[in-house]
Structure 1
Amino acid sequence: MASSKNVVFDIVGTLVAYDHLYNAIDIRLGDRLRAEGVKPWLLGSAWMETAEREYTNLSISGRYVPYAEVFETLFYRVLGMMGGIKNPRQFASPEDLAWIMGEYQKMTMRPGAAECVKKLRDAGFTVWAFTAADLKRVGGYFQQAGVELPAENLISCDSAGVGKPDLAAYKPLLDKLTSENEGKTPWFAAAHLWDVSAARRAGFKGAYCTVLEQEALTDLFGDMDVIDDTLPGMADKIIAHQAGN
């Protein structure tokens, strides 16, 4: 089926990097963590991965909770799972957590993210954002980077109360973009392979960038329509694929 000139992006982890958050953990807790043999980056990654899992589990069980709430609530549990940290609520104070959550609001676009969006727009594509995060926070990431995104093109799972990768989460936007574009299939682009894989099964064309996960495990998640190691490279391949329709 022919594809349309609509690209839906995942945002946090894809266009927005986790680096600022992980650096904030290092600034606030780094010396304490290293004294226990824990790398700040490892804590950040474990915290993020655990939150994504539990957010999804809550959603598919019918108890949807906004991602940021899940993320903050799980901090002490994840901290306590780090080797050697037996009293996590004594190890890190509520003030520590509040400061880190404040820095969470300040994460920045990846190198190449703005170029990726510009390439697509210059080629006539309309860019959309579909996120598990809250609209205010994600809108702030775009504003900080000076990348324009109309409010109507930014959609959160919070609106329907169904989290990705439940296929039902992708369906409303897929149906909207398909019906408005003569039945042509829109694109979904992400640096989370599970996200692109689910979107593709829901009916999107799938574009995957390895910038976050490094390895394209297509034997596990299935084939993609486009794969590239950089965001601008992924944009080029979407454009080239579209030209070949």
Structure 2
Amino acid sequence: MGDKLRAEGIKPRLLGYTWIDATEREYTYMSLSGNYKPFSVVFQAMFFRMLWQAGISEPRQFATDEDVQFLIDAHDKEPMRPGAAECISKLRDAGFTVWAFTAGDLKRVGGYFKSAGVDLPSENLLSCDTRGVGKPSPEAYRPLLEQLQKHGQPWFAAAHMWDVSAARRTGFKGAYCTVFEKEPLLELFGDMEVVADTLPEMADKIISMS
């Protein structure tokens, strides 16, 4: 759809970002209001609304359900962020047990690790879908925190500042990587134990501070 979007003055990258960003907002609002829906369900439903907000007067004539499914399938096959596999390897070599806690579904997120050649045991991959409570609610993080606190104060690392800052307020140590958002915005979200520009550097700082 790239050429069609550009012909309308819509940058595909910006549309992709706003689609995910708006989905995160609606997903969170629904969870807070007691109407939890899996992220993937909200994501698919939001696409035509985003075309409307981008200036397409007849979104369902501009794109089809098949187009949306193509984009979702591509999203499901995205590679992990640069340096993610090395980051995990560094932490494991230093004696850490690595968990993943996602608002996405287990199959999709588990596929990211598998495609990157990272072995992540199924019991160490958790989704908000299991309890029906979305991040950044403290109740989403608290069960994992209570489980891991038995072994000391755990770290929470993310490339979304809203995510890691919420986990930190719940009781985790916080590590943030700017690989996705570029700007930490500490004046909004507060201090972090670790801020790094790459995921391997973030791992090194966590290890150093531990």
Partner of 2:15: 43
Partner of 2:53: 81
Distance across 2 between alignment mates of 1:211 and 1:103: 21
Q: What per-residue deviation string (whole Å, max 9, x for no partner) do you get for residues 169-220 of structure 1? A: 00000000112x1xx2100000100101100000000000011111111111
Identity value in percent: 64
2:148 to 177, 181, 184: 177
1:130 to 93, 101, 108: 101
Where do residues 211-230 of structure 1 align in structure 2 (5 Å cutoff)? 211-230=179-198
CA RMSD after TM alignment: 0.7
Q: For residue 50 of structure 1, what is the amino acid of its counterpart?
A: A
Distance across 1 between alignment mates of 2:133 and 2:27: 10
Distance across 2 between alignment mates of 1:54 and 1:114: 30
Distance across 2 between alignment mates of 1:79 and 1:162: 28
Partner of 1:103: 74
Q: Secondary structure at the match of 2:99?
A: strand
1:33 matched to 2:1: no
Q: For residue 126 of structure 1, what is the amino acid of its counterpart?
A: T
Where do residues 201-240 of structure 1 align in structure 2 (5 Å cutoff)? 201-240=169-208
Q: TM-score, with normalisation over the residues of structure 1? A: 0.85
Provide the aligned length of Structure 1 versus Structure 2: 210
Q: For residue 34 of structure 1, what is the amino acid of its counterpart?
A: R
Instruction: State the 4+ residue runs in structure 1 displaced beyond 6 angstroms.
Output: none
Q: CA deviation at 1:225?
A: 0.5
Higher relative contact order at CA 8 Å, sep ≥6: structure 1 or structure 2? 1
Partner of 2:162: 194
Distance across 2 between alignment mates of 1:197 and 1:105: 26
Q: Secondary structure at the match of 2:154?
A: strand
Distance across 2 between alignment mates of 1:108 and 1:224: 27
Q: CA deviation at 1:104?
A: 1.6
Q: For residue 189 of structure 1, what is the amino acid of its counterpart?
A: A
Q: Secondary structure at the match of 1:227?
A: strand
In the alignment, structure 2 segments of 5+ residues that lack a partner are none
Distance across 1 between alignment mates of 2:23 and 2:201: 29
In the alignment, structure 1 segments of 5+ residues that lack a partner are 1-28
Partner of 1:166: 137
Distance across 1 between alignment mates of 2:125 and 2:195: 24
Partner of 1:15: none
1:146 to 106, 114, 117: 117
Q: CA deviation at 1:110?
A: 1.7
Q: For residue 41 of structure 1, what is the amino acid of its counterpart?
A: R
Q: CA deviation at 1:48?
A: 0.6
Partner of 2:42: 70
Q: TM-score, with normalisation over the residues of structure 2? A: 0.99
Distance across 1 between alignment mates of 2:139 and 2:54: 35
Q: What per-residue deviation string (whole Å, max 9, x for no partner) do you get for residues 85-108 of structure 1? A: 100000001111111111121011
Distance across 2 between alignment mates of 1:165 and 1:189: 14
Q: Secondary structure at the match of 1:212?
A: coil
Q: Secondary structure at the match of 1:74?
A: helix
Q: What per-residue deviation string (whole Å, max 9, x for no partner) do you get for residues 133-176 of structure 1? A: 01111111111111000000000000010000001100000000
